Structure 1
Amino acid sequence: MQVETTKIEGLLILQPNVFGDDRGWFMESFNQQQFAQALEKLQQAVPTFVQDNHSFSQKGVLRGLHYQNAPYGQGKLVRVVQGRAWDAAVDIRPDSATYGQWVGVELSAENKTMFWIPEGFAHGFLALEDNTQFLYKTTNYYNKESEGAIIWNDPTLAIEWPLYEIENVLVSDKDNQANLFK
């Protein structure tokens, strides 16, 4: 597994080792020991995953920006197993030097890239193809009373969603009525 740091401490882009031949390919989609070693090397806490989530979206569906408040904060290890999505994480840790900054990365079934988003981030994604299937491993259970959201097109955050690839953006009423970052 190759680990790439980002401009925001804690956010990591992971590239699994993929072994292919004329029959197809094989990869370990998750290896706790390797993941822990990578985080320890970067002096980051090693999480325990307790829940897996799976979503299905058509092209143009935008989900987010979602987060869970303490004590139900969630770290997420995310990847796309079918289709393609552009994923964004926003630093909402008030004491962070990168508070309010974001990182975006394309995740697809083809590139097999994974994105580690620790607690303290808002998260969202835009499906760039029909039938996009998105998997999340989370470090805490979902708690409805602790959920929060920031509107996806917040002008302060100015996230550069790849909307040029989309004819119609489909956002839930709940997400369209989310709070501004400030």
Structure 2
Amino acid sequence: MTGEHLQVVHGDITRMEVDAIVNAANSGLLGGGGVDGAIHGAGGPAIMDACRAIRDAQGGCPTGEAVITTGGLLPAPYVIHAVGPVWHGGSKEEETQLASAYRNSIRLAGEHNLRTVAFPNISTGIYGFPRERAVDIAIAAVREALPKSPSIEQVTFVCFDDENYRLYRERLS
């Protein structure tokens, strides 16, 4: 399902053969549950070692920001760790922070001259961001950021669950 350089697939982001996958990370960069745990589990200790080095250098990663590390044992050579917001009802700049996490991920991929990037559904799991709003924000932020990163040829939204997959398919068709 494609709209310009955007597509959606239903599957496991840890198996994506792209230049970089994006991790829905927490600000501590020390792994966690959901997609974060799956990426660290599949990618092995090299990813955690790289995250620890970033943590030691800059003290973690603020919400809305992103950092890049090796992909370790993953098919993707890089992981971009983007920190999405926890949903608090929309009164704490969550929408701005979520858009920023997507835009900063695209910016980092562009700075590394990457061609293909795969995103999970940032903040829609345990962080509780409403899925329909998250999909709209993700697509708009990526579309806004892509012109500034001309090396990027394809962005894939990888949905693990049926609901997010259906939402992305509807909006990208």
Which TM-score applies when normalising by structure 2?
0.32
- From the two aligned structures, give the one with the greater strand fraction: 1
- From the two aligned structures, give the one with the greater helix fraction: 2
Structure 1 or 2, whichever has the larger Rg, is 1
Which TM-score applies when normalising by structure 1?
0.31
